[in-house]
Amino acid sequence: MLTLPRHALLFILLSACSSPIDEHPDAVGDSTQQRDSTRDGGTQRDLKTRPDIRRTQDSNTDLYVPPSEGTLSERYPGDSFPTQETAILFHSDFEKGFQGWDSDTSWSGQPSTYETKSEEANNGTGSFKAAFTQATLKSRGDASVRLLKNIDSPSKKIYYRYYARFAKGTLRPHHWTRVCGYDENCPGGTAGLQPKGDVRFNTRVDINGKNQLFFYTYWHEMRSGRCNDGSATPGCEGDQGNTYYFGNRFKPADQESIVLTEWQCYEFMVKENTIGESDGEQALWLNDKLLGQFIKSRTKGEWLRDNFYTEGEFGTDNQNSTFDGFNFRTDPKIKQRSFELEFYQQQNTFERLSDKADEIAEEQAIYYDDVVIATERIGCRK
């Protein structure tokens, strides 16, 4: 008679009982897309070809926990995700450097690095440090450090979680993290341009001057900043005189200022639309608190030019107006295919804050840790 180990029997019983979880639970321009990553001394490394990088995660012997109420982090304390958990698309705690990431790009005068000091990590000893100097910005005009992970999932709804901490004296980035939806590659040189629905969409989580979060989104039905109604018709009401399509802003209401120099847990969700429908969605959490979600007919607010306001004169004061939804794409081949941790900055940011020069560090640095990409709510590390 065949005798199975006790843990194998338990895994079989748990798997048999599982059931699908219910699905419902001030930057200017996207300038990083305008520069070739290898231009002017920039570097791009394909991490898949490096001998010290293994694309597969180490096997986890912990038992799979069937979907149930609660986030993935609640089901797997310490981010101890087993290989059997199919909701996890990617997990990196940087304890083994850039293992699992696909490429890193730097046009900052110095390569991207990972730290191995416990005082620089959210947990453990590993973290990703994105950094450049003020001297680099003065000589180049801008700088960027970027770490990219390719995504391959049939799911239309994907969640992204990461921890971040800004070194003392580091200014908020001109642009921050990004998800790009495309077929074969995410096109470059597209800042200020309205994309086609069968080519791409992309969205960022950025930080405004009050240290509050907002989405900065490009898609084929995005609005122009030229006219009050978001159109680009010369002579329109509020005509700005020129046509431009920089990312449309979606800022959740009632946010407090984030203490950027402390580790914070950021999570956001992007749901692709059904072709021909405007049922795409975005949502944003900070330290497990839902800041806001942008869902058709449910999110109250009002458009003005290329901003959707959820508070103030054009926001929650108008209870009769709701968001019209995201029609991100017109072709099912256009899917979320890459996620980027980035630190992009421009020299004019420092010039605007010249009166605070003594408070700004020569080295500008952001630390990242505990990154997870999944098809369910992830939640903060427990």
φ, ψ dihedrals at 341, nearest 5°? -90, 120
pLDDT by residue for the chain (382 residues), tens only, comes to 444 444 443 333 334 343 333 333 333 344 444 444 444 455 666 665 443 332 333 333 345 555 666 899 999 999 999 999 999 999 999 999 999 999 888 765 565 666 777 888 999 999 999 999 988 888 888 888 999 999 999 999 999 999 999 999 999 999 999 999 999 888 776 888 999 999 999 999 999 999 999 999 999 999 999 999 999 999 999 999 999 999 999 999 999 999 999 999 999 999 999 999 999 999 999 999 999 999 999 999 999 999 999 987 666 555 678 999 999 999 999 999 999 999 999 888 878 776 777 889 999 999 999 999 999 999 999 9
Task: State CA 282 to chain mean position distance.
Answer: 11
Which pTM does this prediction carry?
A: 0.83
Give the span between the Cα atoms of 371 and 160, in whole angstroms.
Answer: 8
CA–CA gap between residue 84 and residue 72 (Å, rounded)? 13
Q: How many residues are listed for the chain in this entry?
A: 382
Cα(357)–Cα(349) distance, rounded to whole angstroms?
A: 11
Query: 139: how many CB neighbours lie within 10 A of its CB?
Result: 12
Token reading at 123: 């947990």
As beta bridge partners, residue 43 has 106
The bridge status of strand 307-309 relative to strand 248-250 is: parallel
What distance in Å separates the CA atoms of residue 265 and residue 273, rounded to the nearest whole number? 27
User: What does the pLDDT read at residue 235?
Assistant: 96
Are 4 and 162 in contact by the 8 Å Cβ rule? The answer is: no
Write down the pLDDT at residue 284: 98
Return the pLDDT at 11.
Answer: 38
Q: How far is CA 303 from CA 9, 13, 272, 329, in A?
A: 56, 52, 21, 21
Q: Residue 11 has what DSSP assignment?
A: H
Res 52: pLDDT: 34
C-alpha to C-alpha distance for 188 and 134, rounded to whole angstroms: 25
CA-atom Rg of the chain in angstroms: 21
pLDDT at 51: 35
Interatomic CA distance for residues 371 and 177, integer angstroms: 12
- Taking the domain 26-374, which CATH number applies? 2.60.120.200
